[in-house]
Amino acid sequence: MSPNPCLPIKNRPHADPDSNIIKDTIGDVIREAKDTLRGEKLDKIFVVLEDTNQAFYQAVKHATDAIYGVPCQCINKKWCLGKFPIQAQANIAIKGNAKAGGVNFTAKMASSGSRNLLVTKGGKKTMVVGGDLTHPPKMDEDMYTLASLVGSMDLDSGRYIARIEPNPAKVDIIDNIQSMMGELLDKYFELNGELPEAIVYYRDGVSEGQFQEVLQMEYSGIKAATIKASAKAGRAAVDVLVTVCIVQKRHHVRFFQQNAQFRDRSGNAQPGTVVDSCVTHAKNSDFYLQSHAGIQGTSRPTHYNVIFDEIQFGPDEFQELTYALCHCYQRATRAVSIPCAVYYAHQAATRARALASRHNMSTGVSRPAFLDPNARQFGGDGGSKRRSPPRSHDEGYNKPVDPNSQTYRDTFRNIHKDIRDTMFFC
């Protein structure tokens, strides 16, 4: 990427984020830049935001990610006018490098020797997948649930791509997971010339009462996608082993070190602390991991529930893998509290929210009834009272949104094809 911009800095007046002014302005800049480059690729555009309002950020990302397909890096205006701390410079640089296809850092397990991070002790090449959903705010009637699935594309957990799809409103299970997983596997095969031999699926945002439903719907969808991907690759069906782990942050468990020499600077337990006995479930395979260093206050450990393990990890190996993945987050220079795949899935889902809401605003399209949790009737008694969220076994349960339908195209504009296989969500 050239260090010199192809255009001088463009200044535009303040605009209403709900209008088309931002979209049209960015479009004009991109066209002018491409004309100047005369056929060369436009690597990236930088947008300095005067207003930190989320609506402006969403308007910019909708234009660059969904309409024009050019990687974009937003910068707060205050960094351009005053002191520009080295930490802020580093954050912008590592995010920009990840979006451009670079890898900032990877990790290795101490017990793995020279083995790649995503190769098991048994020698199986592994793909790490993260799944998440984002639900609309209760008072916002222009939005609906969106699902994201993120998968690793190398054996060092440095590069990931995401797939985003609308999900039936207020449903906590990823409905279209087989199709989304199939696309990730196809891309993995394109880049590596082979399919993964194992998949570790970290799923965020489900409660203990939904574990069985995740296995019935999402695990089976992933397995079906692996069989279909094998056939598409012209190979006999391979039994790709899948391990499913639920990641939970919403709990009230905290850990304190009685011995001061084992505390960090903020008084919390040191990063890497694992608790897998005494306070864990008597029968389930679960553990708590505090992977990050607390900056202020009491750190909250992450609770991991391994609800299905075809790979047959040993407890220590899986805990060490999970901890290593917390160091592979390309947007941070230190370990984070959850594995990077889960973070990426959350970011991709959040970005999808911007794309869906912005598209609805800019087109004036009203949300169809099947995406409206207030309009749908579950059970078919014709009443107007709003019900609790549906489950897959309920009568009248919504089928996955058809991406080929006109309704889908009118209410959600997905990531542009030119950047959908990049880490646009960083």
Short-list 318, 420, 410, CA closest to 365 = 410
Q: Are 232 and 195 in the same domain? A: yes
- pLDDT > 70 in the chain, percent: 80
Of 82-86, 253-257, 328-332, 369-373, the range with the lowest mean pLDDT is: 369-373
The per-residue pLDDT for range 116-172, each reduced to its tens digit, is 999 998 899 999 999 999 887 776 554 568 899 999 999 999 999 999 988 887 789
Of 57-71, 174-188, 349-363, 396-410, the range with the lowest mean pLDDT is: 396-410
Burial profile 10-34: b = 16 or more Cβ within 10 angstroms, e = fewer: eeeeebebeeeebbebbbebbeebb
Q: Are 309 and 373 in the same domain? A: no
- Of residues 23 and 140, more confidently modeled: 23
Q: Are 184 and 284 in the same domain? A: yes
Q: Are 144 and 256 in the same domain? A: yes
Q: Are 320 and 243 in the same domain? A: yes
Section 2-26 average pLDDT: 69
Whether residue 110 lies inside any domain: the answer is: no
Burial profile 73-107: b = 16 or more Cβ within 10 angstroms, e = fewer: bbeeeeeeeeeeeeeeeeebebbbbbbeeeebebb
Of 29-43, 119-133, 408-422, the range with the lowest mean pLDDT is: 408-422
Position 128: which residue type? Answer: V
Count of the separate structural domains present in the chain: 3
Please, what is the average pLDDT of the chain? 82
**pLDDT in the model for residue 301:** 92
Q: Are 323 and 370 in the same domain? A: no
For residue 402, what pLDDT band results from cuts at 50, 70 and 90? low
Q: Are 175 and 26 in the same domain? A: no
**pLDDT in the model for residue 216:** 94
**pLDDT in the model for residue 367:** 40
Q: Are 198 and 338 in the same domain? A: yes
Residue 405 structural domain? 364-411
Q: Are 170 and 209 in the same domain? A: yes
From 31, 57, 84, give the residue that closes a domain.
Answer: 84
The per-residue pLDDT for range 72-98, each reduced to its tens digit, is 999 988 888 878 888 888 999 999 999
From 84, 118, 134, give the residue that closes a domain.
Answer: 84
For residue 2, what pLDDT band results from cuts at 50, 70 and 90? low
Position 211: which residue type? Answer: F
Section 189-202 average pLDDT: 96
Strand, coil or helix: what is 352? Answer: helix
Maximum C-alpha span of the chain: 66
Strand, coil or helix: what is 319? Answer: helix
Section 203-209 average pLDDT: 90
Task: Work out the end-to-end distance of the chain between its first and last CA atoms, rounded to an integer number of angstroms.
Answer: 18
Whether residue 7 lies inside any domain: the answer is: no
For residue 112, what pLDDT band results from cuts at 50, 70 and 90? confident
- pLDDT > 90 in the chain, percent: 41
CATH of the domain at 278: 3.30.420.10
The per-residue pLDDT for range 232-267, each reduced to its tens digit, is 887 766 789 999 999 999 888 888 888 877 777 777
Q: Are 263 and 139 in the same domain? A: yes
Q: How far is CA 268 from CA 64, 142, 332, 336, 338, in A?
A: 41, 42, 20, 15, 17
**pLDDT in the model for residue 80:** 81
**pLDDT in the model for residue 360:** 55
Whether residue 102 lies inside any domain: the answer is: no
Q: Are 331 and 392 in the same domain? A: no
Whether residue 12 lies inside any domain: the answer is: no
Of 58-67, 104-113, 331-340, the range with the lowest mean pLDDT is: 104-113
Q: Are 269 and 389 in the same domain? A: no
- Global confidence as pTM: 0.84
- Of residues 69 and 383, more confidently modeled: 69
Whether residue 2 lies inside any domain: the answer is: no
Whether residue 231 lies inside any domain: the answer is: yes
Whether residue 357 lies inside any domain: the answer is: no
- Of residues 310 and 371, more confidently modeled: 310
Whether residue 52 lies inside any domain: the answer is: yes
**pLDDT in the model for residue 136:** 76
Query: Do the Cβ atoms of 118 and 126 come closer than 8 Å?
Result: yes
